[in-house]
Amino acid sequence: MNNQHNQFRRRFLQLMALGASGLAVPRFSQAGTASFITKPIPSSRERLPVIGLGSSRTFNVGNDPLGLDNVAEVMRHFFNAGGKLIDSSPMYGSSQTAIGYGLKKLAKTKAVFSADKVWTWDHDESPVQMEQSRQYWQVDSFDLMQVHNLVAWQQRLQTLARMKQQGQIRYVGITTSHARRHEELEQIMKTEPLDFVQFSYNILDREVEARLLPLAAKRGIAVIINRPFQRGELIDALKDKPLPDWANTIDCKSWPQFLLKFVVSHPAVTCAIPATTQVAHLQENMAAGFAPMPDAAMRARMIDYVEKIL
């Protein structure tokens, strides 16, 4: 009994340390299991789980009944594990329709934090596109609407600001997946009233640590991270490499967990949105949303180890 008490006490102290660093201290259920770590959206203080769900490529299943049911099953495990934010775009084929199918089947249209994008150069088309996206999702309104890849961002941000003021959306954001657009994105972040920004970041692609992540923290902008696995290339490169023994100290049992904990432990990152079609991979990813998280010294050690073995 003393042993069990000491283990619980050590775990509790670890979680209290996380709370001091800006992460939500996970609550324990009656079963003694910790709940998902969350971080605040700076503009509202609403909290989001640090692991979200992307849909690029993975949810583009067309009208295939088996594909749609598989998407719904992945989403079911996502919500059951404590997930909330799902991200999509008109650019992702039939992904929006698949998400809507899953949300309706699971009765989660009001539980999801819905994050979508507007992606058109045609000013007149943008409201039509956003409304079509809403209908595909089968939600009353979007929580977050983002300008996809900076396309016509001046006009789109004006439209989104009006929509937010009128209560049609809750948050305004902008995205890019391309490092060549970071300089332009930096200027937008300095001057525009954004709630969210989304860009790529992983243990090897760390350019955003120098300017974009510190700027987001300074300006009070929530950060969504896409491509935490380099679209799977990082996992493929690491799958035959040994996970270091010391990864156990942050409860990492696999490379995906190692890579995700590195990303979401950055103080300026709000959440990451890995995408998958497999329930087992989803569960593995979601396990990265629990304490303990790496501190600055551990993050440096993680970088050093990965760079040495690749």
Give the per-residue pLDDT at 35. Answer: 75
Structural domain includes residue 157: yes
CA-CA distance, 19 to 263, in Å (whole number)?
A: 18
**Is 26 within a domain?**
no
Q: Is 114 helix (H, G, I), strand (E, B) or coil?
A: strand
240 occurs within a structural domain: yes
CATH of the domain at 226: 3.20.20.100
User: Does 16 fall in a domain?
Assistant: no
Q: Which domain holds residue 48?
A: 37-309
Beta bridge partners, 187, equal: none
Q: How many other CB atoms are found less than 10 A from the CB of residue 145?
A: 29
Number of domains present in the structure of the chain? 1
Considering the entire predicted model, what is its pTM? 0.90
pLDDT at 19: 40
283 lies in a domain? yes
* pLDDT, tens digit only, all 310 positions of the chain: 444 434 434 443 443 343 433 444 343 333 335 678 999 999 999 999 999 999 999 999 999 999 999 999 999 999 999 999 999 999 999 999 999 999 999 999 999 999 999 999 999 999 999 999 999 999 999 999 999 999 999 999 999 999 999 999 999 999 999 999 999 999 999 999 999 999 999 999 999 999 999 999 999 999 999 999 999 999 999 999 999 999 999 999 999 999 999 999 999 999 999 999 999 999 999 999 999 999 999 999 999 999 999 9
Q: ∠ at Cα 97 (151, 107), nearest 5°?
A: 120
